[in-house]
């Protein structure tokens, strides 16, 4: 597994989610929330919304690093650790070191 650490392009505008995007951006950007879970039924656009939020938070400069871990192929805990480490640009087992270099936002996505 060689997951990408870059953010994929949105491909389409994020429409009709301005209020939710603003609330998420405020919570994450202000540091009020260290973990945010986006929930909903299959196919409603959770991954697309989260990706749109990452693009917005990267654009406003709130975070030094914005990365995505595509965990869709992860089956075991050690694979998740490797996915996160790769997304952060760290060696396996050193994911915390990469996050300590600046304000980092990481999306764990299983789309």
Q: What is the pLDDT of residues 39-84, one digit of tens each?
A: 889 888 888 888 888 888 888 887 878 888 888 888 888 888 888 8
Tokens of 89: 């640009």
Residue 2 predicted with pLDDT over 50: no
For residue 1, what pLDDT band results from cuts at 50, 70 and 90? very low
Confidence of residue 6 (pLDDT cuts 50, 70, 90): low
Please name the helix (run of DSSP H) or strand (run of DSSP E) that holds residue 25, with its range, or none.
Answer: helix 18-29
| Number of residues in the chain | 111
The predicted model scores a pTM of 0.72
Token pair for 98: 């990469």
| Percent of residues in the chain assigned helix, strand, coil, to nearest 5 | 40, 10, 50
Distance CA 10, CA 48 (A): 7
Alpha-carbon span 77 to 19, nearest angstrom: 35
Cα 59 to Cα 54, 63, 75, 81, 85, distances in angstroms: 8, 9, 32, 27, 23
Percentage of the chain exceeding pLDDT 70: 82
């Amino acid at each position: 597994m060689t997951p990408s650490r870059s953010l994929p392009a949105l491909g389409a505008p994020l429409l009709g989610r301005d209020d939710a995007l603003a609330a998420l951006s405020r919570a994450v950007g202000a540091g009020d929330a260290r973990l945010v879970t986006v929930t909903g039924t299959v196919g409603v656009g959770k991954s697309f919304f989260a990706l749109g939020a990452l693009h917005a938070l990267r654009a406003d400069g709130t975070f030094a690093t914005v990365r995505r871990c595509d965990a869709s192929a992860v089956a075991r805990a050690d694979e998740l650790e490797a996915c996160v480490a790769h997304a952060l640009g760290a060696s396996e087992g050193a994911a915390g070191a990469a996050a300590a270099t600046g304000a980092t936002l990481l999306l764990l996505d299983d789309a």
